[in-house]
Amino acid sequence: MTSELILASASASRQMLMRNAGLIFSSIPAEIDERAIDARLEAEGATPETIALELAKAKAIAVSRLHPDAFVIGSDQTMSLGARIYHKDKDMAEAHSNLLSLTGKTHRLNCGIAIAKNNEILWSAVSIAKMTVRDLSDEFVSHYLEKVGSQVLSSVGAYQLEGEGIQLFNSIEGDYFTVLGLPLLPLLAQLRELKLIDG
């Protein structure tokens, strides 16, 4: 690889996905106020897809300003059910309530991704996964949250698909990488296009 590649994130799962794909990169978290950007865009009536994309771009640009010669990857995800946008749960009671609101319904994980260089966005895209939650009883949700513990509060939706969260679902449409927060297939295609990895 001739140019430096930076992931603008501290996310362990995003780093794992990139490492597993054979990418050589640095990880530098973006210093942005995600919730302020999120709130402003929501107030402006932006779609969940647009919010995910704008957050991804904001992360990429923030790190690109500090490392202008590098190619910087930003990624962010929103979770939506119709017009409602979900955020990380504050506590287990909120996680319980939100999981019950998803029961028997199909929600979307909207994953934005962007590449920046020299403080400019070179490419961006949104990948969507449709997640259908099975019919869950109040008792099952209580038992599930008790079993998995407060670590689920670090993920929007209070599920981690790579663990026991898979038991919440009937079906998933979309790729696994999008669900984990990094649309790896379009990213790899773009890195080949930019001649940053072998074609």
Kindly report, residue by residue over 66-96, the tens digit of the pLDDT: 999 999 999 999 999 998 999 889 999 999 9
| Residue 1 confidence (pLDDT) | 40
Side-chain half-sphere exposure of 6, counting CA atoms within 13 A? 23
Which residues are catalytically annotated? 76
Other C-beta atoms lying within 10 Å of the C-beta of residue 53: 26
Please check whether residue 150 lies inside any domain of the structure.
yes
Please check whether residue 199 lies inside any domain of the structure.
no
Strands annotated E in the chain:
5-7, 26-27, 71-81, 84-86, 106-117, 120-133, 169-173
Other C-beta atoms lying within 10 Å of the C-beta of residue 94: 14
Give the CATH number for residue 187: 3.90.950.10
Please check whether residue 119 lies inside any domain of the structure.
yes
| Residue 186 confidence (pLDDT) | 96
| Whether the model pTM is above 0.95 | no
Q: What average pLDDT does the segment 13-36 reach? A: 94
Kindly report, residue by residue over 164-188, the tens digit of the pLDDT: 899 999 999 998 899 988 999 999 9
> DSSP label at 168?
G
Please check whether residue 111 lies inside any domain of the structure.
yes
Contact between residue 58 and residue 31 where contact means Cβ atoms under 8 Å apart = no
Domain with 175 in it: 5-193
Domain count, the chain: 1
| Residue 157 confidence (pLDDT) | 84
Please check whether residue 31 lies inside any domain of the structure.
yes
Q: How confident is the model at residue 193 (pLDDT cuts 50, 70, 90)?
A: very high
